[in-house]
Amino acid sequence: MARARKKAGGGPGETNPRGDAARAIGSLYECGGGKVGMQMSGRKQSPPSTPPMPQNGPGRLFTLPTVLTIGRVAAIPLFVSTFYMDGWWGATATTSIFLLAAITDWLDGYIARKMRLETAFGAFLDPVADKLMVAATLVLLCTKPFECAIFGDVPWLLTAPSITIIGREITMSAVREWAASQNSLALEAVAVNKLGKWKAATQMTALTALLASRDPSMAVPSVFASGIGLLYVSAGLAVWSLLVYTRKIWTV
């Protein structure tokens, strides 16, 4: 009996290696109220600190870049109103509003990256504001065709690239929404590339030139012809970039 008790380590004054190991493991973790403490050799280690959660709420939602983006959307009704006003000042106001929108488009992205003020709401609203302004400008230009002898009577001169650009933007928005519902690889495949940036740059330059051509003091055939040429280049880049994105999606 004593020998069996000795083997089991249950006798008085006897030590049990298994029991000591169990007590040592149990002392490593002290669970209470969701907190875990570590205790070894009489020293207690503090629990690891939890990383701070990103801020949410109105203060984080309406950052300076987001306010600038909202301002671009709010300026569209004023932009449309000045377009149909007669006189040189109406054309000047329309061109100035469009230029200001283009500048704030670059500025809000720069501020968001520089000051680390990126938000999910801002990332969603920024491309929407750009597409709304571009689509509104193209539709307005098509409703009041230019009278320029350099191209003659060509009613579809602005309509063809406008439909191409607007149709591309609608298709690209649907593709990006579908990619976001799939996985990170599909979403990465439709991220904005250099081709898309060149398309946006030529597009903004072309629309600025066409809006400025409505001003009698700026009604120079070379300015109008440059705007038309760049608009067709932008339409070509729009289709090309759409094919590139579609190919990447197909590969993924």
218-to-33, 91, 130, 148, 199 alpha-carbon distances in Å: 74, 10, 25, 13, 25
Give the side-chain half-sphere CA count within 13 A for 83.
Answer: 21
Q: Which two tokens stand for residue 40?
A: 């070894």
Ordered by start, the domain boundaries in the chain are 61-144, 147-251
Selected from 3.40.190.10, 1.20.120.1760, 1.10.3720.10, 3.30.450.20, the CATH number assigned to the domain covering 61-144 reads 1.20.120.1760
> Which strand (E) or helix (H) includes residue 45?
strand 43-45
Task: Tell the burial category of 97 from Cβ atoms under 10 Å away from its Cβ (0-12, 13-18, 19+).
Answer: buried
Per-residue pLDDT of the chain (252 residues; tens, 9 = 90+): 444 444 444 444 444 544 554 454 444 444 444 444 444 444 444 444 444 444 444 456 778 889 999 999 999 999 999 999 887 788 899 999 999 999 998 888 888 888 888 888 888 888 899 999 999 999 999 998 776 656 666 778 899 999 999 999 999 989 888 888 888 888 888 887 888 889 999 999 999 999 998 887 776 778 888 999 999 999 999 999 999 988 888 887
Q: What is the pLDDT of residue 171?
A: 93
Beta strands in 106-229 (DSSP E): none
pLDDT at 94: 94
Residue 228 corresponds to which tokens in the numbers above? Answer: 């038309």
User: Is the entire prediction scored with pTM above 0.85?
Assistant: no
CB neighbours of residue 119 within 10 Å: 18
Instruction: Give me the pLDDT at residue 243, please.
Output: 92
- At CA 112, angle to CA 103 and CA 96, rounded to 5? 15
* Residue-level pLDDT at 53: 42
What's the CA dihedral at 43, 47, 49, 53 to 10 degrees?
-170
Residue with tokens 């307005």: 140
Q: Alpha helices, DSSP H only, in 44-119?
A: 58-61, 64-83, 88-114
